[in-house]
C-alpha cells in the first residue's frame, strides 16, 4: 500500500541504496582486483613472520654416555632504544647496572644507540634472569638462547675445549668437531596478529636438524681420579705445571687427559692463555731417563744385551769425548737389568755405544719420536729428535738418557703403551664415535695399529725389567701391595739460558699396570717441582694413586654389571 501510494519516495530510497551498492561494488572491485597484488604483499609482510629455529648443539659424552658438555636454554635481555623515553633509559640503566654489576654508563651507552634492538646481557643464569624479570624494565624483553653447560666444571677442559657465546667451538672437541655438533638451522613461517604476536599457525616448516653427539674415549671417573691425583702433586710440590695421560694400551684409547694449569670451559677468559694451552701435545721438554726405555728396547730386540749381562758403570764418572758423564749414585758392576732399575746414565751410555748411534736413532723413530702421534688435537708438535748426521761426539751419551731430544707427553704415552701392548704401537685417540642424538652412529673411530716396534717376546722381557724398576729400583715409591706395575722414573734438568739448570727439573713417571695384563699405560710429568724433584718421589705417587683407584673403580664397575 505504502509502495503504491508513495512511488517517488520508494524510488528515491532504493536509488540511494542502489547508489551505495554501486559505490561498494566499485570499491570492492578496486580492492579485490586492481590493488589485490599490492595489498596481498603488504598483508603477507605484516602477517607472516619467519622464525629461525635454532638446532640443539650436540653433547659431548664420556665413553659411558655421561654428559661432559650439553646445552641449556637460557634467557638473554635486549632493549628497543627507539621505543624508550629518556626517563625509561635512565631507569633501566640504574636498575640493570645494580643487578649485573656493570657501570651505569655501559648500559646507558648501549641504550643511547638509535636502534630497534640492542643486547643488554646475554645468556643469563636462572637467578639473574628472575631478578631482572621482577624489575619489569620498560622497553626491554627477553629472548631464549641456548648456552653450553659443563657439569663437571673444569674437568677434561683441554679435551672438551670451549664454545663462544654464539655456540661456535673455539678449542678442543668443541672446535675440532664443530661441524658435527652445531647441527643445521631450521625455519618456520608463522602468522602474526595485529599486535605482532606469533600465532601457533605455521604456513611453512623446516625442522632444525639437531647436532650430533660426540662420544669420547674418556672415562669420567678415571678422569676425576687422574685430575685429583695431579692436583695433589702440583700443590704439594709447588709445581709450575703438570700433565697426566691415561691410555688403554690395547686400543690406544685415552681414558684420562689432564693438564695443569687449567681453565673453566664456561669462563675461558677468566684465566690466562697459558692455562688454555694443551701442554700434553704442545709443550716439548727433554724427557730425561724415561727415554732410556728406547735404548733398553733396542738392546734387547737387537740381541746386544741380555738381562744378566754385566756392565761396569765406572763408579759414577765416565768420559765421552770432552764431557764427563756422571751418575746420580755411583755404581760399579751392574747387570743390564740393574742398569735399567738404577737408571745408570753411564750404563746406558755404554749400552748405546755398543748398539751404535744408528740403532738408537732407528728405535727412537720406531717409537715415533720426532713426529706427531696424530692424536687429532690442534697444536700438536713434533718434538725434536735429530738424525745421526747431526749428532755431536757427546750425543751418544746424551740422547740415550733423554737429553738433546725433546718430546711431548703424548709421545711418551704412546711409547709406554707400545711396551705394555707387547710391542704394538696403537694410535692414541680420544674420540670413540659421533652419533645422532637418537643414538644412530654417524662415524665410529676404531683402534688403529700403527706399527710393531719390537717382537712380543722382547716386549714381555722389557715389561719384566720395568717391573724391576718399581720392585727394586728408582721407582720403589710406586710399589703397590696388590698390583704389579712396571715403569720408569725420569728427572730431567731444564735448559735455562742455554745451560742445564740445577734448580729446575721436569719430574716424570711413565708406567703400566698390571704387568700381566696391562689395563693402563700412564704418563705423569710435573714441571718445576720443588723442593723435591725426583721423578720417583714427585710423579711416581701420582701414577700409584691413579692405578690403585682406577683398578678399584673398574672392578666395582665389572661387579655392578654382573
Minimum gap (Å) between residue 512 Cβ and other proteins: 20
197 contributes a contact to other proteins by CB under 8 A: yes
130 contributes a contact to other proteins by CB under 8 A: no
195 contributes a contact to other proteins by CB under 8 A: no
Q: Which of 191, 282, 381, 495 binds other proteins (CB under 8 A)?
A: 191
CB 260 within 8 A of CB 231: yes
Q: Which of 220, 253, 327, 404 binds other proteins (CB under 8 A)?
A: 220
Cα dist from 376 to 72, 177, 262, 372, 450, whole Å: 28, 11, 20, 10, 15
Minimum gap (Å) between residue 198 Cβ and other proteins: 7
Please give the positions annotated as active site.
289
Nearest CB to other proteins, comparing residues 21 and 371: 21
User: Per CB under 8 A, which region of 16-24, 112-120, 146-154, 291-299 contacts other proteins?
Assistant: 146-154
Binding to other proteins (CB under 8 A): which residues in 477-496? 482
Measured distance CA(36)–CA(32) in Å, rounded:
5
Minimum gap (Å) between residue 30 Cβ and other proteins: 20
User: Per CB under 8 A, which region of 32-40, 43-51, 334-342, 549-557 contacts other proteins?
Assistant: 549-557
Nearest CB to other proteins, comparing residues 287 and 514: 514
557 contributes a contact to other proteins by CB under 8 A: yes
Q: Which of 29, 32, 48, 64 binds other proteins (CB under 8 A)?
A: 64
1 contributes a contact to other proteins by CB under 8 A: no
549 contributes a contact to other proteins by CB under 8 A: yes
Strand-pairing partners, residue 13, are none
Local structure of residue 465 (DSSP, 8 states): H
Minimum gap (Å) between residue 44 Cβ and other proteins: 17
Strand-pairing partners, residue 77, are 121, 142
Measured distance CA(273)–CA(290) in Å, rounded:
29
273 contributes a contact to other proteins by CB under 8 A: no
Nearest CB to other proteins, comparing residues 456 and 557: 557
If DSSP codes are grouped into helix, strand and coil, which group holds residue 507?
Answer: strand
Of 71, 66, 92, 67, the C-alpha closest to 81 is 92
Q: Which of 224, 240, 382, 494 binds other proteins (CB under 8 A)?
A: 224
CB 128 within 8 A of CB 94: no
Q: Which long-range contacts (CB under 8 A, 24 or more apart) does 82-91 make?
A: 82/114, 82/115, 82/116, 83/116, 83/139, 84/111, 84/138, 84/139, 88/138, 88/139, 89/139, 91/137, 91/138
If DSSP codes are grouped into helix, strand and coil, which group holds residue 126?
Answer: helix
What is the DSSP track for 249-284?
A: TTTTEEEEEEEES---TT-GGGS-HHHHS-HHHH--
If DSSP codes are grouped into helix, strand and coil, which group holds residue 433?
Answer: strand
- What residue ranges bind other proteins (CB under 8 A)? 64, 66-67, 70, 72-73, 126, 149, 151-153, 155, 191, 193, 197-201, 220-221, 223-225, 228, 232, 482, 548-549, 552-553, 555-557, 559-561
Amino acid at each position: 500500500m505504502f509502495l503504491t501510494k508513495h512511488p517517488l519516495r520508494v524510488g528515491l530510497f532504493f536509488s540511494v541504496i542502489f547508489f551505495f551498492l554501486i559505490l561498494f561494488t566499485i570499491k570492492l572491485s578496486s580492492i579485490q582486483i586492481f590493488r589485490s597484488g599490492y595489498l596481498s604483499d603488504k598483508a603477507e609482510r605484516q602477517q607472516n613472520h619467519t622464525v629461525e629455529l635454532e638446532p640443539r648443539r650436540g653433547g659431548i659424552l664420556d665413553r659411558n654416555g655421561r654428559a661432559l658438555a650439553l646445552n641449556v636454554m637460557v634467557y638473554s635481555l635486549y632493549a628497543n632504544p627507539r621505543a624508550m623515553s629518556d626517563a625509561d633509559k635512565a631507569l633501566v640503566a640504574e636498575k640493570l647496572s645494580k643487578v649485573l654489576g656493570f657501570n651505569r654508563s655501559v648500559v646507558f651507552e648501549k641504550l643511547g644507540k638509535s636502534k630497534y634492538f640492542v643486547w643488554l646481557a646475554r645468556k643469563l643464569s636462572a637467578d639473574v634472569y628472575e631478578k631482572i624479570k621482577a624489575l619489569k624494565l620498560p622497553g626491554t624483553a627477553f629472548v631464549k638462547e641456548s648456552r653450553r653447560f659443563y657439569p663437571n666444571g673444569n674437568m677434561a677442559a683441554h679435551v672438551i675445549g670451549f664454545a663462544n657465546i654464539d655456540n661456535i667451538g673455539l678449542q678442543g672437541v668443541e672446535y675440532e668437531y664443530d661441524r658435527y655438533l652445531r647441527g643445521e638451522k631450521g625455519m618456520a613461517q608463522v602468522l602474526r596478529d595485529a599486535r605482532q604476536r606469533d600465532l601457533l599457525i605455521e604456513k611453512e616448516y623446516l625442522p632444525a636438524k639437531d647436532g650430533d653427539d660426540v662420544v669420547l674415549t674418556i672415562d669420567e671417573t678415571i678422569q676425576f681420579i687422574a685430575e685429583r691425583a695431579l692436583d695433589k702433586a702440583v700443590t704439594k710440590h709447588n709445581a709450575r705445571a703438570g700433565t697426566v695421560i691415561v691410555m688403554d694400551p690395547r686400543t690406544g684409547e685415552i681414558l684420562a687427559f689432564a693438564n695443569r694449569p687449567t681453565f673453566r670451559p664456561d669462563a675461558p677468559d677468566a684465566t690466562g692463555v697459558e692455562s688454555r694451552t694443551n701442554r700434553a701435545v704442545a709443550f716439548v721438554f727433554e724427557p730425561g731417563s724415561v727415554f732410556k726405555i728406547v735404548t733398553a728396547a733396542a738392546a734387547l730386540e737387537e740381541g746386544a744385551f741380555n738381562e744378566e749381562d754385566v756392565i761396569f758403570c765406572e763408579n759414577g764418572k765416565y768420559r765421552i769425548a770432552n764431557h764427563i758423564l756422571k751418575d746420580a749414585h755411583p755404581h760399579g758392576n751392574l747387570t743390564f737389568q740393574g742398569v735399567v732399575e738404577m737408571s745408570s746414565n753411564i750404563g746406558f751410555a755404554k749400552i748405546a755405544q755398543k748398539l751404535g748411534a744408528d740403532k738408537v736413532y732407528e728405535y727412537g723413530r720406531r717409537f715415533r719420536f720426532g713426529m706427531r702421534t696424530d692424536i687429532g688435537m690442534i697444536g700438536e708438535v713434533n718434538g725434536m729428535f735429530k738424525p745421526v748426521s747431526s749428532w755431536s761426539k757427546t750425543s751418544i751419551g746424551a740422547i740415550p738418557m733423554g737429553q738433546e731430544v725433546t718430546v711431548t707427553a703424548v709421545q711418551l704415552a704412546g711409547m709406554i703403551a707400545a711396551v705394555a701392548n707387547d710391542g704394538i704401537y696403537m694410535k692414541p685417540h680420544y674420540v670413540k664415535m659421533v652419533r645422532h642424538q637418537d643414538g644412530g652412529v654417524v662415524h665410529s673411530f676404531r683402534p688403529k695399529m700403527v706399527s710393531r716396534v719390537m717382537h712380543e717376546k722382547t716386549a714381555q722381557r722389557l715389561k719384566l725389567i720395568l717391573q724391576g724398576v718399581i720392585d727394586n729400583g728408582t721407582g720403589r715409591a710406586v710399589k703397590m701391595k696388590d698390583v704389579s706395575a712396571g715403569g720408569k722414573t725420569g728427572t730431567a734438568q731444564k735448559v735455562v739460558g742455554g745451560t742445564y739448570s740445577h734448580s729446575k727439573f721436569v719430574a716424570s713417571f711413565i708406567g703400566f699396570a698390571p704387568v700381566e695384563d696391562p689395563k693402563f699405560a700412564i704418563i705423569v710429568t710435573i714441571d718445576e717441582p720443588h723442593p723435591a724433584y725426583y721423578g720417583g718421589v714427585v710423579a711416581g705417587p701420582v701414577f700409584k694413586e691413579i692405578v690403585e683407584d682406577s683398578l678399584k673403580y673398574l672392578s666395582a664397575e665389572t661387579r655392578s654389571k654382573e
